[in-house]
Amino acid sequence: MRLSCASERKFTFALYFLRPLGILVLEPNTTMTTKNYFEFSQNNSGGGWQIDHEAGIGVKVFVQASSPAEANDKAEAIGIYFNGVSSGRDCECCGSRWSECWESDTGVEEAPKASKVSKGDVAFVHHADGTIEKVVGTWDWMADFKKGGW
C-alpha cells in the first residue's frame, strides 16, 4: 500500500489519537517507502546563480525524500541554504536564493524529466539511493507561452 504524504499524516493521527480510545486502526503495510521528489527552485539573487556540478546544485534541485522536512535536511546537506537574506549572503531586494519546502508540500511521485525544466537550465535530481542525475532542460516555455499553452 502506498500512501501520499497527506494520507500518511491522517494515518499517524489515527494511530496516536484513535487507537488509545480503543478504536481499531488498521495498519497499512508498515514500510511506508513512498519517497517523492521535492523541488528547490533557485532565485537569481543578486543576478547570479549558485551552481556546483560536483555537489549537484543547479538552477533547480530535486530531492527524493519521504517528507518535506527530510527534503529540507537533505537539501542543506547538499549545500543549499535557506536563510540567505537574514544571514547577509543574498541580496535583500532580490530575496533569498533558496526557500524551504513547506510542510504541506507533497512533492511529486515521478522523477523530474528534462521536459519539466526550462530549456538549457541545468537541474540535478538527488535520488534516495544516493545517485545524482544531471538533467538539462528541454522545456521551451516561451513557445508554450506564445501558443497560450499555460
Whether residue 34 contacts residue 2, with contact meaning beta carbons closer than 8 Å, is answered with: yes
**Residue from 25, 55, 78, 91 that binds Zn ion (CB under 5 A)?**
91
How near is the Cβ of 99 to Zn ion at its closest, in Å?
A: 16
- Contact of 103 with 68, CB cutoff 8 Å: yes
- Considering only residues 119 to 148 of the shown chain, the ones binding Zn ion according to CB under 5 A are none
With H, G, I as helix, E, B as strand and everything else as coil, classify residue 108: strand
For the CB of residue 136, give the shortest distance to Zn ion in the complex, in Å: 27
Taking the complex as a whole, the smallest distance from the CB of residue 46 to Zn ion amounts, in Å, to: 5
Q: How many CB atoms lie within 10 A of CB 83?
A: 12
Q: Is residue 78 close enough to count as binding Zn ion by CB under 5 A?
A: no
| Contact present, 74 and 55 (Cβ < 8 Å) | no
- Name the minimum Å distance from CB 93 to Zn ion: 4
Give the binding range for Zn ion (CB under 5 A) out of 35-43, 85-93, 117-125, 131-139: 85-93
Residue 24 interacts with Zn ion (CB under 5 A)?
no
Q: How many residues bind Zn ion (CB under 5 A)?
A: 3
Let me know: does 35 contact 66? Beta carbons within 8 Å. yes
Of 22, 93, 129, 146, the residue at the interface with Zn ion (CB under 5 A) is: 93
Q: In what order do the strands lie in the sheet with 132-136?
A: 36-41, 60-65, 122-126, 132-136
Positions touching Zn ion (CB under 5 A) are 91, 93-94
